[in-house]
Structure 1
């Protein structure tokens, strides 16, 4: 596993590098550790509040530890109409957690997603950014089985 300081340093001379660094940190750790936010503030010469603001502004980024598998259900209007509410309830039942939570074993995090731009396949679910189209309640156990 890479060191958060090394990851941040790779982007220190790029305009907008803080966002690229955060994406790289998230790819490595599945979230942005608090000490990495402090380091980003120092390296990019912004206040810790500003660095934290960037880290929490984008829904894709997280400053809280997340599971190995990040499951996101699109909550756009087309997905909502196609039955996203029922799919959400099915994931919550199968995982034993609510949206915004991580399973006690640290394996799954369940989140909402803004539109992922694939409305023709509603309901769209992403697992670690890989999209799954036309997800129904019946497909939820199969999707989770692929991760287990």
Structure 2
């Protein structure tokens, strides 16, 4: 049974990191991209792709957190790894809220999209800086 859990952990962690990196890269490009990149058709397409990465991140994050708590880590506030997991959940909720706003926004103003992608980029950046601080 431990082999299945280990295998599931590794696959979930790989998917989690890849989807996080892909979303972080897309949000970086659209935060600092020029106006040629920010036309509405390109934005809408990458916004849907970004949402898919965010949902993959959430699903694998839930799986990773459930595997982590199975090994006896019930109180997430008691150690730095649990605290960083809680901080990641907070950052994920912020990003999920902002990307939902971006998906339902029907205006064509590229500066609004740029600000929304900026909020998502900087919140993820802040979460990962805090995560590195807590776990090293």
Task: Establish whether TM, by shorter chain, passes 0.5.
Answer: no
Structure of greater relative contact order (alpha carbons < 8 Å, 6+ residues apart): 2
TM (norm. structure 1) is 0.26
TM (norm. structure 2) is 0.27
